[in-house]
Structure 1
């Protein structure tokens, strides 16, 4: 599994290609998803993979368009009672990609349900290797205000440019 600097990537930045790339080389290892403070049941099932093209207008009247991939996980105790190997998960995605042309840079969202509770949306962190298994933490996908998010990113960028270690101006005195 490729080593990545997870500190530079936010949970909601992970793409399909990034997930599959980090699983490469760990095909035989069990793949565990964790959500709501617990691991998914060992016999979980990938019930659906879908791709969507979205266009919208945010609360600041700014147009936006993006592609998103949804992977639906059914959190049930399966017959084999063992977690899916990372290679099997990757093979499922590759098979779907052959039919739907999944964009590797697309935003990745997981839909998870136990078949009783409603489907809930999660974003994924980068996979981590521990205890001879691959672990992916899923966090609830929050709502956000895109104009506010852009403003905060601009302010952070200004502060890093102005006050970063390479800054030579007196703007931070």
Structure 2
């Protein structure tokens, strides 16, 4: 049985370590974030970086705990500015670590607003170096049911084990 997981795309949920490792190798390249199908304006800037440690109960009363880093982007255009160099973003994050403990493996969430619309939450796909710039696609962070997500992951794992290339000749795939 192959179960379709309609929850958020796990590929669009990178951590700070992955982002910084790409930026470290492309410090002079412009860093361009995309959300709602458009790039951020060249004058965007980071207005806040914050870290949180969360404890919760999911909808089946299972305890949950995680750390999360929030990067707030203000999507504005100011004068003749260009997109922020990757090295500047990297330096800002490193400056934050002098005052705030950041877990590089924490889930990374972007809070984005153009100063008019309300702030919205986004997760980030892996950064891509293309045409001399670092591109990071942001997608809306959706709600999900963690027990359902765990169940779907287990069902997909079972299906992959049964119907993977090595098992395809074993007859368990219908």
Structure 2: stretches of 5+ with no match in the other structure? 1-9
Q: Does 1:11 align with 2:22?
A: no
Q: Does 1:57 align with 2:57?
A: yes
- Structure 2 CA distance for aligned equivalents of residues 78 and 106 of structure 1: 31
- Specify the alignment match of 2:146 in structure 1: 146
| Equivalent position SS for 1:10 | helix
- Specify the alignment match of 1:101 in structure 2: 101
- Structure 2 CA distance for aligned equivalents of residues 170 and 124 of structure 1: 39
- Specify the alignment match of 1:5 in structure 2: none
Kindly state the Cα deviation for residue 24 of structure 1 after the two structures are TM-superposed.
Answer: 1.7
- Specify the alignment match of 2:165 in structure 1: 165
Kindly state the Cα deviation for residue 150 of structure 1 after the two structures are TM-superposed.
Answer: 0.5
- Runs of 4+ in structure 1 over 6 Å off: none
- Specify the alignment match of 1:6 in structure 2: none
- Structure 1 CA distance for aligned equivalents of residues 130 and 18 of structure 2: 19
| Equivalent position SS for 1:110 | strand
Kindly state the Cα deviation for residue 76 of structure 1 after the two structures are TM-superposed.
Answer: 0.5
Kindly state the Cα deviation for residue 170 of structure 1 after the two structures are TM-superposed.
Answer: 3.6
Kindly state the Cα deviation for residue 81 of structure 1 after the two structures are TM-superposed.
Answer: 1.9
Structure 1: stretches of 5+ with no match in the other structure? 1-8
- Structure 2 CA distance for aligned equivalents of residues 154 and 22 of structure 1: 31
Check the 8 A contact 1:69/1:106 in 2, yes or no.
Answer: yes
- Structure 1 CA distance for aligned equivalents of residues 80 and 26 of structure 2: 20
- Structure 2 CA distance for aligned equivalents of residues 39 and 138 of structure 1: 10
- Structure 1 CA distance for aligned equivalents of residues 48 and 81 of structure 2: 20
Superposed CA deviations along residues 83-121 of structure 1, whole A, max 9, x for unmatched, are 000000000001101211200000000000011111100
- Structure 2 CA distance for aligned equivalents of residues 155 and 112 of structure 1: 35
Kindly state the Cα deviation for residue 131 of structure 1 after the two structures are TM-superposed.
Answer: 1.6
Q: Does 1:127 align with 2:127?
A: yes
- What root-mean-square deviation, in Å, do the aligned CA atoms of Structure 1 and Structure 2 show? 1.5
Larger relative contact order (C-alpha < 8 A, sep ≥ 6)?
2
Aligned residues: 165
The TM-score, its normalising length taken from structure 2, stands at 0.90
